[in-house]
């Protein structure tokens, strides 16, 4: 066993370079992670399912190959969200329905990631079926925020974000529908990228043509997120909308930061109101960009029409995926999950038509704005990480929310536009909790977005100020 705790603080890109130079081995990394998991997991509960034996077998197979043939990640360990199948590893989807499920085959996205040198060693926690912005479920319990263990890590990729912040992952796979990569990134002070639909594919799926729910990378900085995006992207058999790999790796764009000339800033996209402290921190971030020569204009973009359209399209997705589960297992499902499915089952054709028209209008509105600006920036969450005892947020900044997901409107409105969005940390609250911004790029524009995000990161810092309680 070889444990080097100094590796925990290194970036993923640095660790991969060490792997390529054979200065460390994948086994060294796994042993180091195992020690860190043993130390922090009882407090955080980010990675409830471990598969180190499988990971060591994969690492041994990789090490039999020449370094040049070990793939882009060259043996870098990667946790997979518990919504996504990994062959031979318990995959519960955060649900009592699947608490003992061990799939025989991996999701196509996991197979691709492993072919590119990723080594799967754990499953990250998620709410049941990914339904919400707080990571808890009846199988594994609550995931806690490493910055304050009494607070939520966000969701639904909360386990992934908490693992990054507590040092039990260098990068992490996650997924996003209403903001599930972005909200936990904001809560935990890490980076989460929601790519263009089709950029990162998965299969099989109940609706392989769906574009609301996507997979994407999480990391501690923009460059590491670009590295994992390169390992995750590309055409996948069984995913009809999957996009080809880019001619130039995304990592190369992140390593060539280009400052945006003009950015638009919106306090709430016309659909949300952030708590005053969050908005103040975001505005100070814009002041720092302006002081560094970037043009910052206040935007009046209004995405308020997104609420009904998003609920409709999300409801249809839940009904498509889980109608049979509801019929057979209602007694063990989270009430929020039941509400989601039943809402979708009640929708009529007129509601769908209206939602599709609204979604088109929102795309064209955002597309027009991004013809005038390099990126749009807004808060990544309207609230700070809340107490873990709360199951959702029903009021913020003086507004009451009708449903348990409407506090996520600032992220789900952007989901409907289909534009790539990256969330990065931008500061800390007075009580030491991370705050993040979302940066929105042009359609299929991950390359330019990563370059701009890295330039912004250079100005405002690569990590939230301070140190998590658990790391």
| DSSP character string of 127-149 | SGGG-SSS-EETTTEE-EETTEE
Q: Which of 439, 406, 445, 410 is nearest to 424 (CA)?
A: 439
Please name every residue paired with 197 in a beta bridge, in sequence order, or none if there are none. Answer: none
Identify the pLDDT of residue 129.
98
Residue 439: strand pairing partners? 377, 422
User: Please, what sign has the CA dihedral across residues 114, 116, 118, 123?
Assistant: negative
- Contacts for 336-344: CB closer than 8 Å, 24+ residues apart: 336/128, 336/131, 336/132, 336/391, 336/392, 336/404, 337/95, 337/128, 337/129, 337/131, 340/131, 340/314, 340/315, 343/311, 343/315, 343/318, 344/314, 344/315, 344/316, 344/317, 344/318, 344/319, 344/320
Q: What is the pLDDT of residue 468?
A: 86
pLDDT tens, N- to C-terminus, the chain (471 residues)? 689 999 999 999 999 999 999 999 999 999 999 999 999 999 999 999 999 999 999 999 999 999 999 999 999 999 999 999 999 999 999 999 999 999 999 999 999 999 999 999 999 999 999 999 999 999 999 999 999 999 999 999 999 999 999 999 999 999 999 999 999 999 999 999 999 999 999 999 999 999 999 999 999 999 999 999 999 999 999 999 999 999 999 999 999 999 999 999 999 999 999 999 999 999 999 999 999 999 999 999 999 999 999 999 999 999 999 999 999 999 999 999 999 999 999 999 999 999 999 999 999 999 999 999 999 999 999 999 999 999 889 999 999 999 999 999 999 999 999 999 999 999 999 999 999 999 999 999 999 999 999 999 999 987 654 578 888
Q: How far apart are CA 115 and CA 240, in angstroms?
A: 20
Four-point Cα dihedral 392, 185, 239, 100, nearest 10: -60
pLDDT value at residue 215: 98
pTM of the model: 0.98
180 with 174: CB under 8 angstroms?
yes
Distance CA 377, CA 284 (A): 13
Q: Which of 421, 331, 433 is nearest to 376 (CA)?
A: 421
Across the beta sheet with 49-50, the strand order is: 49-50, 119-124, 77-81
Domains annotated on the chain, with CATH: 16-460 (3.90.1300.10)
Inter-residue contact 243 to 232 (CB < 8 Å): no
Helix (H, G, I), strand (E, B) or coil at 61: helix
Spatial distance between the Cα atoms of 319 and 125, rounded to a whole number of angstroms: 23
Helix axes 26-44, 158-166, angle to 10 degrees: 110
Sole residue written with tokens 């330019």:
448
Dist CA 311 CA 308 (whole Å): 5
Report yes or no: 424 and 456 within 8 Å, Cβ to Cβ: yes
The DSSP output letter for 157 is S
Segments of 165-238 assigned E as strands: 171-176, 191-194, 214-219
CA torsion sign for 259, 179, 244, 114 is positive
Nearest-angstrom CA–CA distance, 242 and 343 = 29
Asked whether the beta carbons of 120 and 114 are under 8 A apart, the reply is yes
Measured distance between the N- and C-terminal CA atoms of the chain, rounded to whole angstroms:
21
CA dist 140 and 233 (Å) reads 30
Integer Cα distance of 395 and 339 in angstroms: 20
Query: What is the per-residue pLDDT for 464?
Result: 54
| Parallel/antiparallel/unpaired status of strands 144-145 and 148-152 | antiparallel
Q: Which residues pair with 151 in a beta bridge?
A: 387
Q: Is beta strand 262-265 parallel, antiparallel or unpaired with respect to 375-379?
A: parallel
Where in 312-392 does DSSP place strands (E)? 375-379
- The pLDDT of residue 377: 99
The whole-number pLDDT of residue 462 equals 73
């Amino acid at each position: 066993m070889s444990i080097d705790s100094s590796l925990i603080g290194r970036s993923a890109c640095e660790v991969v370079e060490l792997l390529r130079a054979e200065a460390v081995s994948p086994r060294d990394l796994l042993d180091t992670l195992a020690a860190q998991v043993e130390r922090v997991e009882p407090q955080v509960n980010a990675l409830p399912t471990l598969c180190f034996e499988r990971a060591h077998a994969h690492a041994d197979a990789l090490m039999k190959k020449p370094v040049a043939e070990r793939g882009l990640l060259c043996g870098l360990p990667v946790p997979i969200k518990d919504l996504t199948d990994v062959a031979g590893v318990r995959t519960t989807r955060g649900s009592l329905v699947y608490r003992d499920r061990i799939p025989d085959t991996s999701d196509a996205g996991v197979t691709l990631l492993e072919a590119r040198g990723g080594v799967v060693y754990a499953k990250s926690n998620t709410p049941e079926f990914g339904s919400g912005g707080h990571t808890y479920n009846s199988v594994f319990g609550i995931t806690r925020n490493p910055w304050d263990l009494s607070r939520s890590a966000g969701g639904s990729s909360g386990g992934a974000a908490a693992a990054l912040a507590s040092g039990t992952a260098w990068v992490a796979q996650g997924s996003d529908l209403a903001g599930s990569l972005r909200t936990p990134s904001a809560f935990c002070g890490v980076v989460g990228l929601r790519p263009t639909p089709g950029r990162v594919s998965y299969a099989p799926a109940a609706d392989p043509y769906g574009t609301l729910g996507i997979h994407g990378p999480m990391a501690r900085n923009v460059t590491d997120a670009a590295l994992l995006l390169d390992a995750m992207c590309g055409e996948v058999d069984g995913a009809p909308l999957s996009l080809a790999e880019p001619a130039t790796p995304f990592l190369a764009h992140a390593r060539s930061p280009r400052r945006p000339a003009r950015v638009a800033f919106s306090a709430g996209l016309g659909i949300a109101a952030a708590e005053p402290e969050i908005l103040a921190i975001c505005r100070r971030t814009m002041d720092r960009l302006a002081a560094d020569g970037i043009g910052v204009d206040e935007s009046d973009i209004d995405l308020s029409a997104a609420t009904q359209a998003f609920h409709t399209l999300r409801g249809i997705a839940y009904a498509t995926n889980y109608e049979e589960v509801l019929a057979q297992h209602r007694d063990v499902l989270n009430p929020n999950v039941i509400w989601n499915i039943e809402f979708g089952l009640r929708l009529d054709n007129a509601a769908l038509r209206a939602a599709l028209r609204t979604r088109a209008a929102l795309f064209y509105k955002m597309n027009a704005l991004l013809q005038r600006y390099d990126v749009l920036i807004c808060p990544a969450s309207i609230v700070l990480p809340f107490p873990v005892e709360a199951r959702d947020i029903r009021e913020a900044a003086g507004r009451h929310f009708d449903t348990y997901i409407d506090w996520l409107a600032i992220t789900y409105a952007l989901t409907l536009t289909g534009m790539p969005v990256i969330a990065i940390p931008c500061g800390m609250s007075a009580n030491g909790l991370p705050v993040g911004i979302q940066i929105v790029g042009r359609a299929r524009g991950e390359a330019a977005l990563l370059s701009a995000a890295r330039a912004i990161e250079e100005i405002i810092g690569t990590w939230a100020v301070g140190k998590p309680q658990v790391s």
